Amino acid sequence: MSPAETTIPQGYGKVFSRPQSLSDAPTTYCPGCLHGVATRLIAEVIDELGIKDRTVGIAPVGCAVFLYRFYNLDFVQASHGRACAVATGLKRANSDLMVFSYQGDGDLAAIGTAETVHAANRGENFTVVFINNQIYGMTGGEMAPTTLPGQRTTTTPRGRDVASTGYPLRISEMLAQLDGPRYITRQSLHDAPHIAKSRKALLTAFSNQLEGKGFSMVELVAACPTNFKMSPDKANKWLVEQALPAYPLGDLKVKE
Amino acid sequence: MSLQLMRGNEAIAEAAIRAGCRCYFCYPITPQGELVEYMARELPTRGGEFLQAESEVSAINMVYGAAAAGVRTMTSSSSPGISLKMEGISYMAGARLPGVIVNIMRGGPGLGNIAPAQADYFQATKGGGHGDYRLITLAPSTVPEAAELVMEAFELSDRYRVPAMILADGMLGQMMEPVELPEPVDPADIPARPWALTGAKGRDPNVVLSFDLDPQGLKKMNQELQAIYRQIQHNEIRWEESHTEDAELLLVAYGTMGRIARTVARLAREEGIRAGLIRPITLWPFPYDPIRQAAQSVSTVLTLELSAGQMWEDVQLAVGQRADTPFYGELGGVVPTPRQILKEVKRYVSS
Ligand SMILES: Cc1ncc(C[n+]2csc(CCOP(=O)(O)OP(=O)(O)O)c2C)c(N)n1
Ligand code: SF4
Ligand SMILES: [Mg+2]
């Protein structure tokens, strides 16, 4: 039954329902994965701003490749890392569209670094949602540029050796140095208060686009319980203890 | 309509604007600089978007985005840059997005040089990117024809939802010729794009995808593509043919080499050699049948290219055992004179 059809018994009120922008397709994320939280938050924000009918999403290559199934929105799937170029093309072709890309850390901060930096530097008027889970989720848990020093992945079986593979890439800090972007922020998805903050950040990022204010990126620190080989609970604990010190939360750039 | 003296690169740019190209994305490279500059100057003042991207990879993905949004869109480059666009072209083919890619070829492989060459034939007509896809490939041999074929490329690309390439070379890009420019396309005549991403207002969401993880599903998507390609092969083969009726020797050449071959055929006729010419205009779909037909009555089919022999393979496929199929080519950006080629022609006629 879709949310609209649900009959509410007398004496009860509706306090929770599926956002209009979300379809009723089940997600393909692993149980306990924070991708699901981010996916839903975006839908809530699109509903709140009333922009569902003019929004186009861009699905990445990564665990969110099926993103188009989870929304009731026009969608395009981009090649690995190119979402910011595709978004540029969409927005330049039709500036009335509300365009957002949704990208993992491999997609945005490794193979798509150039596209991301230059779209940000041009101040393109779209919204980027960046899921930093410190790993390549979809391909089976390889090292990402965001992987922490010493972190074991399938391609760093002895732990990430910074002498040979470099350091966690703080791309939000990099982008915050540029004159182009309007809003760069890093939030986390590990508990309810932080999810609420993440939602607020997404609302700001989409509102900026609505007002023609230019490039906004919300980095959301997440975890990949499956490839971390942890329960969701443990993965969240790991996120707080290990990831957040490397990825401090808060607004990195707010251009007035 | 008056004639205008224009460089090939500029005529291509102007024709694209007249064809209704609204978004153009590029990365600079010689020998197509004038095309980029023309677009930078003209497109924004005529209602379009010009953007210099950070790379050819980005430029083709911007084309992918603009095409998904439902506008006519183009990118241009030269050989090394076209190599970088191949992933994006494969995605466009898979996602059934129309769009035009111009390759003003130069010498290769690698960085090669900036002189005219035709060594990207394989890349354009045999895949280039990954997967079972085809690119409508149009090869002009004069500046006016370049303008005409740009209009055609947009039309065909839209009609079949298959990306189209203009395959020319540095010679054509740089040369100046009088052109009668085509009339601008009336936007109302551009086919509707009900599949475009315009926001799901009052309809189900549209989705632009090039993948299907289910092998049966991807098989079906590929079968649909192949059906479209068969239609194109059936309907859209274009070629120029001259003096084939009484020919003893048939020349096959395209683009700049096709233009030189026209002179070669004339010079040969002046010396009593009955030379005919077939100049493929669509390199894909390739004019196999016209070449096969013309080969029935000749002893030799000589392929001429500015490469080591790429189209030659298709000519051999077309001709089979019907005639000898020698090849003459130049490499590395060297352009032969008609007299040099005539000497080669004489070798086959006297033997
Ligand atoms: C050009 C190209 N290279 C590699 C791949 C394989 N691949 C698919 S997803 C992926 C990594 C995704 O990791 P990330 O962007 O962090 O997303 P996550 O799955 O963690 O959400 C890679 C390398 C691909 N599809 N295309
Ligand atoms: S592999 Fe990791 S990131 Fe991907 S869906 Fe599963 S838990 Fe989430
Ligand atoms: Mg990741």
- Write the residue in A56, A79, A92 that is nearest to B197 by C-beta: A56
Distance A100 CA to ligand 2 centre (A): 21
pLDDT at A15: 86
Whether residues B208 and B248 fall in one domain: no
Give the C-alpha separation, A23 to B136, whole Å: 37
pLDDT at A8: 84
Does one domain contain both B188 and B333? no
Question: In this predicted structure, what is the pLDDT of residue B350?
Answer: 66
Asked if B207 lies within 8 A of A68 by C-beta distance, the reply is yes
Residue B98, SS3 per DSSP: coil
| CB-based contact A159:A151 (threshold 8 Å) | yes
Cβ separation A54–B201 shorter than 8 A = yes
Query: What are B290's two structure tokens?
Result: 């016209």
The values of phi and psi at residue B58, to 5°, are -65, -45
Are both B219 and B264 inside the same structural domain? no
Residue A81 C-alpha, separation from nearest chain B C-alpha, in angstroms: 10
* Chain A hits for B207, Cβ within 8 Å: 68, 74-77
User: Which of A27, A28, A103, A133 to probe ligand 2 with, by most ligand atoms within 8 A of CB?
Assistant: A133
CA A78/CA B210 separation, integer angstroms:
9
Last residue of a domain, one of B188, B209, B235: B235
Residues B226 and B251 in one domain: no
The gap between the terminal CA atoms of chain A, to the nearest Å, is 45
> Closest ligand to A155 CA?
1
Atom of ligand 1 nearest to the CA of A146: 16
**Boundary of a domain, candidates B235, B267, B291:** B235
CATH number where B74 lies: 3.40.50.970
Residue with tokens 């596209």: A115
Supply the range of the domain harboring residue B276: 239-350
Q: How many CB atoms lie within 10 A of CB B164?
A: 26
Check: CB of residue B170 under 8 Å from CB of residue B108: no
Q: Is the pTM of this model over 0.90?
A: yes
Number of separate domains in chain B: 2
Partner-chain residue, chosen from A65, A77, A89, that has the shortest CB–CB distance to B69? A89
Chain B closest-CA separation from residue A174 CA (Å): 17
Partner-chain contact A115 B58, CB within 8 Å: yes
**Tokens of residue A83, six digits:** 């979402």
Locate the domains of chain A by residue range: 25-254
Of B175, B202, B235, the one marking the end of a domain is B235
Q: Using the mean position of ligand 2's atoms as its centre, give its distance from the Cα of residue A247 in Å.
A: 20
Of B275, B340, B277, B280, nearest in space to B310 by CA = B280
CB contact under 8 A, B58 and A72: no
Minimum CA distance residue for ligand 2 atom 2: A224
Q: Rounded to the nearest whole angstrom, what is the distance from the C-alpha of residue B18 to the centroid of ligand 3?
A: 44
Which ligand minimizes its atom distance to the CA of A106?
Answer: 1
Which of A72, A93, A117 is opposite residue B66, by nearest beta carbon? A93
Dihedral in degrees, nearest 10, Cα atoms A18, A23, A28, A34: -40
Q: Given the CA of residue A131, which atom of ligand 1 is nearest to it? A: 21
In this structure, the answer to whether residues B315 and B226 fall within a common structural domain is no
Q: Whose CA is nearest to atom 7 of ligand 2?
A: A224
* Ligand 2 and A236: CB distance under 6 A: no
In terms of domains, do B24 and B131 share one?
A: yes
Q: What is the mean pLDDT of each run of 10 residues along chain A (256 residues)?
A: 67 90 97 97 98 98 98 98 98 98 98 98 98 98 98 98 98 98 98 98 98 98 98 97 98 95
Q: What is the distance in angstroms between the Cα of A97 and the nearest Cα belonging to chain B? A: 7
**pLDDT given for residue A160 in this prediction:** 98
Q: Encode pLDDT of B12-56 as tens digits.
A: 999 999 999 999 999 999 999 999 999 999 999 999 999 999 999
In a shared domain, residues B204 and B91:
yes
Does B81 share its domain with B189? Answer: yes
Q: Does residue B344 sit in the same domain as residue B278?
A: yes
Q: Which residues of chain B have pLDDT under 50?
A: none
Residues B51 and B168 in one domain: yes
CATH code for residues A25-254: 3.40.50.970
Rg (CA), chain A: 18
B256 with B281, same domain: the answer is yes
pLDDT digits (tens, 9 = 90+) for B216-228: 999 999 999 999 9
Contact (Cβ atoms closer than 8 angstroms) between residue A223 and residue A216: no
Same domain, B224 and B293: no
Q: In this structure, what CATH number is given to the domain that contains residue B332?
A: 3.40.50.920
Closest ligand to the CA of A229: 2
